[in-house]
Amino acid sequence: MLLSLAFSYVATVAFGVLFMAPRKVLPVIGITGMLGWFCYKVLLEYFLFSPSFSIFCGTVLLALTSEVLARIYKKPVTIFSIPGIVPLVPGIYVYQGMYFIMANEYALGMEKLLRAFLDAGAISVGILLVSGLFRILKTSASNVTPEN
């Protein structure tokens, strides 16, 4: 578990560097990705939730952390969220799905691609849910006028 957390940290920081994130927030970006991966692994392995639900919960935690850190560091949310989702992206299932389809094992290939599609959907819905919630809270807070 600790080794996979270390790899998720390194992968997240590497994508932060790739996307030219400011140097001073790179350690925080790594922690953000590591938190999402930790949530995913704990829910998957210890609580035995489904992979897609575990990815959804990891993404929600990651997106919440990204929104808060964006306000603390006064940076765009995408600096924290895009590198942070990299450990959760189901790239191996896309690769395996295409591999099995090319090997004429269509049923197994479609199963892997469906899994990748469900996991990618869980990531999308998790980010959409949190960013929508923060947008609603921000607009409702700005619409409140102080009473005299």
pLDDT in tens, 80-112: 999 999 999 999 999 999 999 999 999 999 999
Positive or negative torsion for Cα 82, 83, 88, 93: positive
pLDDT category at 141 given cuts 50, 70, 90 is confident
Alpha-carbon distance values, 89 to 33, 52, 63, 115, 120 (Å): 11, 11, 14, 11, 7
Q: Is the dihedral of CA 144, 71, 36, 38 positive or negative?
A: negative
Place of tokens 């210890």: 46
Q: What is the predicted pLDDT for the residue at 147? A: 64
> Residue 36 to residues 6, 79, 104, 122: CA-CA distances in angstroms?
13, 15, 35, 13
pLDDT of residue 27: 97
pLDDT value at 18 more than 60: yes
| Cα distance between residue 37 and residue 57, in whole Å | 10
Q: Where exactly are the structural domains of the chain?
A: 2-143
Mean pLDDT of the chain: 95
Beta carbons within 10 angstroms of residue 10's beta carbon: 14
* Residue 1 clears pLDDT 90, i.e. is over it: no
pLDDT at 55: 98
Residue 20's contacts (CB-CB under 8 Å, 6 or more residues apart) are none
Phi, psi torsion values for 125, nearest 5 degrees: -65, -40
Question: Residue 138 pLDDT > 90, yes or no?
Answer: no
Residue 145 pLDDT > 70: no
